[in-house]
Amino acid sequence: MAKGDWVSFYEKIIDENKLGAYAKLAGPAVQKAGGTFIVRGGETVAKEGMDANRTVIVEYPSLDAAKAAYESADYQTALKELDGGVLRHFRIIEGA
């Protein structure tokens, strides 16, 4: 069975406080749902397309698990903290 991944590119961080509040809740929500952080911040070198201030990749055991984690009550609570704090591009994709 293919794994599922979350891929987030943060184009602009508008409010560091909102991002911090989100991160405090999102990290535990991800882990509770079976996710493993593969990339969490760090240096980014953009070669094509938009520049990202921050990149996050989370791996889940399956695509269904990745979808369920996003819809979970714990993660939805974290998202409320992030509201308006960033401009990001978020995808749930089938992994290899």
- Cβ-proximal residues to 35 (8 Å cutoff; 6+ apart), any chain: 6, 58, 59, 60, 65, 66, 69
- The tens place of each residue's pLDDT in the chain, 96 residues long, gives 799 999 999 999 999 999 999 999 999 999 999 999 999 988 888 888 888 889 999 999 999 999 999 999 999 999 999 999 999 999 999 988
pTM of the entire structure?
0.91
- Cβ-proximal residues to 10 (8 Å cutoff; 6+ apart), any chain: 52, 53, 54, 55, 56, 86, 87, 88
- Cα dist from 71 to 37, 53, 78, 91, whole Å: 18, 25, 11, 13
Tokens of 31: 């882990």
